[in-house]
A and B are shown apart, each in its own frame.
Chain A
Amino acid sequence: MIPEGSLLAAHDLRKTYGSTPALDGASFSVHPGEVVAVMGPSGSGKSTLLHCLAGIITPDSGTITYAGRELSAMSDAERSALRRSDFGFVFQFGQLVPELTCVENVALPLRLNGVRRRAAERTALEWMERLEVDDLGTKRPGEVSGGQGQRVAVARALAGSPKVIFADEPTGALDSLNGERVMQLLTEAARSANVAVVLVTHEARVAAYSDRDVTVRDGRARDMEHAV
């Protein structure tokens, strides 16, 4: 049921919004340090799968196991704590807090985890350097370009030293050059830090940065490597 050595695994997830099923028996697993692309047409349930895996929403049925712990058995507060400590997130847009400076945005997950401000911002700046946006430190998100903002978001996802990064269409709002650069920086940083990445995208070129891809169709996930 749970593939050997997987860090995060889901089995037979079902989730219905109203009367429309978003997930209909989806299964999924990711190993430490692995980059897995979740593909599929719009409305296929990709984002719902990602939200379930990250413990943002709870599936109607099915199991999600993270590092040996059952996610659906946790309380909301426990799942929130898990997200703070072990997960990182990159979304398509609108994810940076507009009133905070870029470095404060990157430091936010650390600070939510209780790291003191100076230490958090020092770490944040290191990650921003890694993603080549360390010169944006004191700027606000409204003052930087889309590609820069997305790199700041990637730096933020990485700054909390997570075990898994969930990226939902991280390049969706970017042109291909910026998109590729963001993907390259994200996957490189994730691989070197042994962070697993669950990457939801509908773009094949973005998915090509993954080690493996999974297609969601009609609420069911198919692991393409094992299907062939």
Chain B
Amino acid sequence: MSIGHTLLGLLESGPRHGYDLKRTFDEKFGQDRPLHYGQVYSTMSRLLKNGLVEVDGVESEGGPERKRYAITDAGITDVSHWLAQPEKPEPYLQSTLYTKVVLALLTGRSAADLLDTQRSAHLRMMRVLTDRKRQGDLADQLICDHALFHLEADLRWLELTSARLDQLAKVVAP
């Protein structure tokens, strides 16, 4: 995820302090991974340098100095470009799991057990996400569903692989 573009996008609704930006970001997108302040300020300084934001004012009453940032026209154009550009679909061609399965087969360990264990781990995660989805709001549900669908895809792959283990064994360890 491009943090720079996200922060720019948040600024489009009006100038904000760095602290505000972090809080809004966390609230909307960052339940899993909150931003560090350092991340915010380093990103903002890069954006400043590129002329996509400008400092709208500085406040320093009763605490550290706080800059207020505002988006520039160039920044707005940049956000538009970013949104218009489709994300490149992830091909997931390099998978640790696949490597593990092949290695297990090569070394004569039980690939089926490995897959079952993985399935179980995936399902546990899905259960957690489902639970969170049940208690959360619509935003939670959408985010969790996104993850759930990916996990489900993995699971389907696991199932398919389990069913084809014999075939695979013949190919990798003839």
Contact = CB atoms under 8 A, between A and B. Distances in A.
B123 A209 contact: no
A210 B134 contact: no
A213 B120 CA distance: 8
Contacts of A213: 120, 123
Contacts of B148: 205, 208
B134 A184 contact: yes
Given A41-B159, A184-B134, A210-B127, A205 B120 contact: no
B102 interface: no
Contacts of A41: 159, 163
A204 B123 CA distance: 7
A188 B127 CA distance: 14
Given A41-B159, A184-B134, A204 B152 contact: yes
Interface in B109-131: 116-117, 119-120, 122-123, 126-127, 129-130
Given A184-B134, A204-B155, A205-B152, A228 B127 contact: no
A224 interface: yes
A99 to B, nearest CB: 36
A208 B130 contact: yes
Interface in A54-101: none
Contacts of B169: none
B144 to A, nearest CB: 10
Interface string A147-176: 000000000000000000000000000000
Contacts of B122: 204
A208 B159 CA distance: 16
Given A205-B148, A205-B152, A224 B123 contact: yes
B151 interface: yes
B152 A222 contact: no
B115 to A, nearest CB: 11
B126 A224 contact: no
Contacts of A205: 126, 130, 148-149, 152
A203 B117 CA distance: 17
B171 to A, nearest CB: 21
A225 B124 CA distance: 9
A215 B119 contact: yes
A227 B127 contact: no
B123 A228 contact: no
B130 A227 contact: no
Contact of B116 (A207, A210, A211, A224): A224
The 9 closest A-B pairs by CB, nearest first: A208-B126, A208-B130, A224-B120, A204-B155, A204-B152, A208-B127, A205-B152, A205-B148, A228-B120
21 contacts: A41-B163, A184-B134, A188-B134, A203-B152, A204-B122, A204-B152, A204-B155, A205-B130, A205-B149, A205-B152, A208-B127, A208-B129, A208-B148, A209-B127, A209-B130, A211-B127, A215-B116, A224-B116, A225-B120, A227-B117, A228-B120
Given A41-B163, A209-B127, 4 more contacts: A211-B127, A224-B120, A228-B117, A228-B120
Interface of B: 116-117, 119-120, 122-123, 126-127, 129-130, 134, 148-149, 151-152, 155-156, 159, 163
